[in-house]
Amino acid sequence: MPKDRIVIIGGDAAGMSAASKIRRMRPDQAILVFERTDFTSYSACGIPYFIGGLIDDVDQLIARNPETFRDKYGIEVRTQHEVVAIDPQSQRITVRSRKNCEFTEAYDQLLIATGARPFCPDVPGANSSGIFGLSTLASGIRVREFLVNHQPKQAVVVGGGYIGLEMAEALIRQKLKVSLVQRSSQVMGTLDPDMGALVSKALKDVGVTLYLSERLEGFETSCGRVTGVVTDLRTLPADLVILGMGVRPNSELAGKAGVSLGEKDAIKVDNRMRTETENIWAAGDCVATLNRITGKPTYVALGTVANKQGVVAGMNLAGGDSQFPGVVGTAVSKICKVEVARSGLQEKELKALGYEYAVATIDAKTRAGYFPGAGPITVKLLGEKNSGRLLGAQIVGMEGAAKRIDTIATALTARMTVKDLVDLDLSYAPPFSPVWDPVQIAARKLVKTL
């Protein structure tokens, strides 16, 4: 089914992965992309490192700019063009250009790849300057400019998820005094509390002050600029605030057009990335995704997933047949010197789903204990009682710890038991691992209790 006119809304990971895949498969296919910002195909995950000064030039975060897409791939990207309406009946979209004039465009097949946006709480002062959410490259550039122009001294990060913690580190690196406010009693809610506590410790070790179990109530401002963060317990002075309270899918455009939404209001798609509306597809941070372990939909906003879904959508749009099989819940982050990884289900998910499970947590080293640079690593494994099936893992440790989660992700996908994990022929040499890999040390402990 090669189509006359493929239109893509959104020029980042999912949208441009799809466009590139279509181009490779169909050299003559007309492809038109509308992108609200100035940028295409950038690494949103790199933004904290740009703000922290580890990366100097914002261009390093851009894999391919609109000119490259046009000149090298024959893909037309209209930047600063926001799609404001979709009419599935007439198969036309309404676009608002940079000069604020509106026009309509026809499509034969439409891919929605509108991404996600940071959650912005509806509290007093939330619109003041000096308060930033982070999702687009443009927002990252604004924060870095703010650092240069206003030389803020005291930052408050609201929210202790991946972005919040990576930003806390970035601002410490830029020599700010950094506090972090988190409503729940732990940072990194995708980890169990015991593992989250290890991350809290790492943050404190680099000088981040944590205010856990505190609720954001508003912002103090002066002349339209933020001066403080008000919680239910105190007011923290702040001349820079980062919102890391999670993201929401940009699905309103689709929703208004009658496209079905699912988990957390993300767009509902099948495994070929088709929405329930004819000739409309969706991929990336705006869609709901299947969890391969539970068989239920979930919402994740991750660059890997967006890229993979974009490729699948592109193959199908180009007339191929490709499925996206879903995720197992893998995520990884580096917070200061500590690497954090998780995959599968965590305890609160297992309880909610009614699993009977057992837990083993072990402390080991990233290398042979005697090898220079061996650092601590803690591995927590979760397995199902009776069946012995592996259900999830969490890892917190020093350099070399995090990528071990890929073994878990692979084992989860293969529906391995914990005993299967013990039996794996994993690699060992003193610079890389103890003779039993920490993942297997944990599996050996867990297998006894299943």
- Annotated catalytic residues are 45
- Encoded one letter per residue, x for contact with a second copy by CB under 8 A and - for no contact, window 372-411 reads x---------------------------x-xxxxxx-xxx
Q: Is 43 in the site for a second copy (CB under 8 A)?
A: yes
- 364 contacts 441 by C-beta, under 8 angstroms: yes
Between 46 and 159, whose beta carbon lies closer to a second copy?
A: 46
Least distance to a second copy, CB of residue 211, Å: 25
DSSP letter (8 states) at residue 366? S
Q: Is 304 in the site for a second copy (CB under 8 A)?
A: yes
Least distance to a second copy, CB of residue 36, Å: 21
Nearest partner of 152 among 136, 171, 128, 170, judged by Cα: 171
Q: Is 325 in the site for a second copy (CB under 8 A)?
A: yes
User: Which of 45, 126, 197, 212 is in the footprint of a second copy by CB under 8 A?
Assistant: 45
Q: Is 423 in the site for a second copy (CB under 8 A)?
A: yes
Query: Rounded to whole angstroms, how far apart are CA atoms 158 and 226?
Result: 13
Residues 428-447 that bind a second copy (CB under 8 A): 428-433, 435-437
Helix, coil or strand: residue 61: helix
Number of residues that bind a second copy (CB under 8 A): 63
Least distance to a second copy, CB of residue 24, Å: 10
Q: Is 302 in the site for a second copy (CB under 8 A)?
A: yes
Residue 35 Cα distances to 17, 83, 190, 328, 367, angstroms: 14, 8, 31, 30, 46
Helix, coil or strand: residue 429: coil
Query: Rounded to whole angstroms, how far apart are CA atoms 390 and 413?
Result: 10
- 37 contacts 302 by C-beta, under 8 angstroms: no
Between 184 and 413, whose beta carbon lies closer to a second copy?
A: 413
Least distance to a second copy, CB of residue 372, Å: 6
| Dihedral pair phi/psi, residue 10, rounded to 5° | 115, 125
User: Which of 61, 83, 113, 253 is in the footprint of a second copy by CB under 8 A?
Assistant: 61
Query: Rounded to whole angstroms, how far apart are CA atoms 7 and 33?
Result: 6
Q: Is 246 exposed, middle or buried (0-12, 13-18, 19+ CB in 10 A)?
A: middle
Least distance to a second copy, CB of residue 444, Å: 8
- Encoded one letter per residue, x for contact with a second copy by CB under 8 A and - for no contact, window 331-370 reads xxxx----x-x-x------------------------xxx
Between 229 and 416, whose beta carbon lies closer to a second copy?
A: 416
Q: Is 95 in the site for a second copy (CB under 8 A)?
A: no
Helix, coil or strand: residue 426: coil
Query: Rounded to whole angstroms, how far apart are CA atoms 64 and 258?
Result: 33
Q: Which residue has the tokens 């040390």?
A: 441
Least distance to a second copy, CB of residue 375, Å: 14
* Crossing angle for the helix pair 193-205 and 162-173, to the nearest 10 degrees: 10
Which region, judged by CB under 8 A, interacts with a second copy, from 74-82, 134-142, 213-221, 296-304?
A: 296-304
Contacts of 314 (CB under 8 A, 6+ apart): 17, 18, 19, 20, 21, 22, 25
Q: Is 25 in the site for a second copy (CB under 8 A)?
A: no
Which region, judged by CB under 8 A, interacts with a second copy, from 193-201, 255-263, 319-327, 376-384?
A: 319-327
Between 72 and 256, whose beta carbon lies closer to a second copy?
A: 72
- For 320, other C-beta atoms within 10 Å of its C-beta total 15
| Dihedral pair phi/psi, residue 359, rounded to 5° | -130, 140
- Encoded one letter per residue, x for contact with a second copy by CB under 8 A and - for no contact, window 205-224 reads --------------------
User: Which of 11, 88, 164, 329 is in the footprint of a second copy by CB under 8 A?
Assistant: 329
Q: Is 19 in the site for a second copy (CB under 8 A)?
A: no
Least distance to a second copy, CB of residue 393, Å: 11
User: Which of 328, 338, 359, 398 is in the footprint of a second copy by CB under 8 A?
Assistant: 328
Residue 442 Cα distances to 241, 345, 378, 390, angstroms: 39, 16, 9, 12
Least distance to a second copy, CB of residue 430, Å: 5
Which region, judged by CB under 8 A, interacts with a second copy, from 112-120, 205-213, 262-270, 425-433?
A: 425-433
Query: Rounded to whole angstroms, how far apart are CA atoms 110 and 5?
Result: 9
Which region, judged by CB under 8 A, interacts with a second copy, from 107-115, 183-191, 228-236, 417-425?
A: 417-425
Residue 178 Cα distances to 49, 198, 249, 435, angstroms: 16, 18, 28, 40
Binding interface with a second copy (CB under 8 A) = 13, 43, 45-46, 49, 54-55, 60-61, 292, 302-305, 307-308, 324-334, 339, 341, 343, 368-372, 400, 402-407, 409-411, 413-414, 416, 420, 423-433, 435-437
